[in-house]
Structure 1
Amino acid sequence: MLWVIGIIAIVIMGCTAPKDDDKQEEVRYYQGESIYLDFPFEHGGRYYIGQGGHQKSQNYHYWNEKYNKLGINVSMRYAVDIHMIGEAGIDREVDEATSLDDFTMYKVTLYSPTDGVIEYVEDGHPDMGPDDRDSENLWGNHIIINVDDVKIVLAHLKYGSIIVEKGQKVKKGDHLAKIGKSGNAVVPHLHIQAAKNDPWNGQPVPMLFDGEFLIKGDIVKVDCAYNELEDK
C-alpha cells in the first residue's frame, strides 16, 4: 500500500494505508504481464528505491548508453535497485564511509522473493572497497531464479555468502545469500530484475512487490512498527 508524498510514496509491506492512484498514475506505469514477488528482506527495515520505474528520470538501467551498446538495456527496463536507510541516511550508518561495514546494506540477509528453481549461481568476485567498483563484471556475484521461464536476477551479493546451488528448488522466504558490493556497485545494494527466457537479452517483465510496482524514490517499510517511527 502507498502513502503518497508528492512524487514519493511510502510503501508499507503487509499493512493497510491510504493510496492515491491519481497522483501516481503517470509515473507508476508499466507495460506487459507482470510477476508477483515478495519483498526479499525481513521485517523491521526501511528501504529506499534508488532506481526503478518506466521513465528515463526513474531508471537509468534502460537508458544507460553503455548498456544500450551492449544490447542488454531492454532486459533491464524494469530493474530495481534496493538500498537500506541507516542512522546517517540512505546507505550509511556514518556520514563518511571508510569501510564496507559503514554501509547499512552490507551483509544484510537476502531471502527468496518467489518459489522457483536456481538456474545459475556466480560467486568468486571480491567485494569492492567504498571508492571502487568492478565495471567489467556488472552483476558481480549473483543468483538467477527461474519461474516459468522468467529469469529473476539478484545481483551484487557478498563474496562467499551464497548458500544455494544450481538446480536447487527454493521457496519464498528461503535464505539465499547476503548483500555485498561485488560488481559494478557504487554502494552495497540489491539489483533485481526479471526478463523472459534470457536474463541478459530477454523481454523485460515488470515486478510487483507485494502487489506494488516500485519506482525511484519510494521508501519501503517492511513492518507496521515503522509506521509510528516515521510519524515522530
Structure 2
Amino acid sequence: MALLAAPLVLAACSGSPTSAPAAESSAPPSAPPVPTGGIDPSTAFTPVSATTLTTPAPVTGTDGKTHLAYELLLTNASPAPLRLDKVDVLDAGNQNVLLSMSGATLGANSNLIGGDTGDEGTADPSTAGSPIPGSATAVVWLDVTVDGTLPAALTHRVNATMTTPGGDRPLESTVGRVDVSTAKAPVLGPVMAGGPWYASDGCCVDDTHHRRGLAPINGKLLVPQRYAIDWYLLDDQHRAWTGDPSKLTSDPSKLTSYYAYDKPALAAADGVVVDATDGFAETTSAPNPPPLPPIKETVGNHVTVMIAPGVYLLYAHFKTGTVAVKTGQTVKRGDVLGHIGSSGNSTAPHLHFQVMTEGTFFPTDSTPFAFDCFTVNGQVTERIWDDVLGLQPDPVLPYGASTDTSRHRAQMPLDRNVITFC
C-alpha cells in the first residue's frame, strides 16, 4: 500500500501544466546608466575635505527660532596654506543659504584643531583669518537658525584662497553634506524650583567653554557639553552672591554666600538612575580657578538619569553628602536628586545640567532639550565667565528686564537668559 500511495502523493503535489510557473528570464537585470568615461561629470578633486562632529538636531530657543548647533571640520588636503574666506551653510534641497560667515566673523568662529578655541574671551584677534597649514584641520563653530521649514539635510560651500608659488589661487568647494536629525528634543520639567535662575554658558552662539569644549576622548573628537547650562540662582537685585568678595572664593565656608548653594535639584522626568556618585570634596577658586581634577572627578558629585534609550540627564557638582538617590533607583518627575554645590571641576556653586547620549559624561555627545513651561525675566547683558563670577567687585549682574510676560513652552533657554520655572 505504501508503494502505491507514493505516486498519488507526488501527483497531488505537482501542479497542472497550465499552473506551472513561467521560466525565469535569462536577461540580466537592468543597471543604472554609467556616466561617459565611468565618472560622473560633477566629480572633482577638492583641496578641502569636510566632516561634522554630530548630526545637527533641532531645538526651539526663547527667540522663537529653530537652532541647529554643530561643528564643521575642514581639512586642508594640500601641502599649501589655505585661507578660509567664506563659509555658507545651505539647505541641501533647495540650495538656499541659511548662514553665511566671512571676514572677522568667520575668523572668530573658527580655529585650528589643537589651537585656541576662543572660549570665554580668550581668542587672539590677531589670529582671526589665519590660514590652515597643509595637512591641518580647522573647526568652524556653527549655529544655524531656521525660521520656516526645517531642511532635511545641510551642505557647506567653502570659498578659500590657496597660496602657491605661482600666486594666490581662489577655490570653491561644496562639501560636508549632513542629514538633519528628525528626533524631537525632549521636553522636560523643571530642574530646580521657581527662580529667577541665570542660564550661564548656554546655547548657542556665544564663545563659551560649553559650546567650544572640543575634547579628544578615547580616540575621537567630541563636544560633550555643546548644549549644557550652568544654573545660578539670583536675588531680586540680580545678584548671584552676597557678602565679602575677597572671602567668597578663598574660604570654603563662604560657599553659602551663593544663593544657589544647597538648593535642591529635581528630576526633570521619570526615569532610572544609572549613576549616583557622592563623596568628592567641594572646590573654590582662590582667587584663580583650581587645577583641573582627574578626568573621573570632572563632574564631581553627580546623578545621571536615563529617561529613554540613549537619553540621559546629567546633574553635576552637587554639595558633598547630599546625593539623595542610588544607582538603579526609579525616580519620578519632581523627586529631589541632590543639592547644588561646587564639587568637581567647579569654581562656584551652581548646577551643571545637560542631556547626553551616553550614561557617562566622558565620552558622550551633547544633544538639545527644552522645558515645558517657564517665563523669561530678563537677560544678563554682559559676558561674565563662571571662573570670575565671584570675583566681581560688585555682585549685581548687568541686567536687562524682559517685556515678554508670556509663558514659554517647549523651548530651550538661550545663553544668559534669566528665567523662572512655572
What is the TM-score normalised by the length of structure 1? 0.76
For structure 2, the residue ranges without an aligned partner over 5 or more in a row are 1-60, 69-98, 100-142, 147-179, 249-253, 373-409
Partner of 2:216: 69
Measured in 2, the distance between the counterparts of 1:152 and 1:21 equals 24
| Other structure's SS at 2:216 match | helix
Q: 2:280 matched to 1:128?
A: no
Partner of 1:228: none
Q: Deviation at 1:134?
A: 5.9
Q: Deviation at 1:62?
A: 3.5
The verdict on how the C-alpha distance between 1:114 and 1:72 changes in structure 2, with shifts beyond 3 A counting, is farther
Alpha-carbon contact 2:284-2:348 (below 8 Å) kept: no
Partner of 2:421: 222
Aligned counterpart for 1:179 among listed residues 318, 340, 353: 340
The verdict on how the C-alpha distance between 1:89 and 1:205 changes in structure 2, with shifts beyond 3 A counting, is same
Partner of 1:80: 229
* Cα deviation 1:70-106 (Å, max 9, x = unaligned): 4574232111111111366342133625311111111
What are the residue-to-residue correspondences of 1:147-166 with 2, within 5 Å? Answer: 147-149=307-309, 150-166=311-327
* Cα deviation 1:183-208 (Å, max 9, x = unaligned): 11121111111122343323322110
Partner of 1:50: 200
Measured in 2, the distance between the counterparts of 1:81 and 1:28 equals 23
Partner of 2:209: 60
Measured in 2, the distance between the counterparts of 1:117 and 1:29 equals 34
What is the TM-score normalised by the length of structure 2? 0.43
| Rg larger in structure | 2
Aligned counterpart for 2:190 among listed residues 24, 35, 39: 39
Identity of aligned residues (%): 24
Moved over 6 A (4+): 24-28
* Cα deviation 1:27-86 (Å, max 9, x = unaligned): 79597431111121113x21101111133x15422413xx52345742321111111113
Equivalent position amino acid for 2:190 in 1: F
For structure 1, the residue ranges without an aligned partner over 5 or more in a row are 1-10, 12-18, 224-232
The verdict on how the C-alpha distance between 1:28 and 1:215 changes in structure 2, with shifts beyond 3 A counting, is farther
Q: 2:330 matched to 1:169?
A: yes
The root-mean-square deviation of aligned C-alpha atoms, in Å, is 2.9
Q: 2:357 matched to 1:207?
A: no
Aligned counterpart for 1:102 among listed residues 254, 257, 261: 257
* Cα deviation 1:142-163 (Å, max 9, x = unaligned): 0010111212110010000011
Equivalent position amino acid for 2:329 in 1: Q
The verdict on how the C-alpha distance between 1:151 and 1:116 changes in structure 2, with shifts beyond 3 A counting, is same
Measured in 1, the distance between the counterparts of 2:359 and 2:325 equals 21
Equivalent position amino acid for 2:216 in 1: K
Equivalent position amino acid for 2:242 in 1: E
* Cα deviation 1:197-228 (Å, max 9, x = unaligned): 343323322110121111111011235xxxxx
* Cα deviation 1:117-145 (Å, max 9, x = unaligned): 00001111111235364621221100010
Equivalent position amino acid for 1:48 in 2: Y
Deviates more, 1:206-215 or 1:173-182: 206-215
Q: Deviation at 1:21?
A: 2.9
The verdict on how the C-alpha distance between 1:62 and 1:21 changes in structure 2, with shifts beyond 3 A counting, is closer
| Other structure's SS at 1:117 match | strand
Measured in 1, the distance between the counterparts of 2:350 and 2:366 equals 21
Measured in 2, the distance between the counterparts of 1:139 and 1:103 equals 19
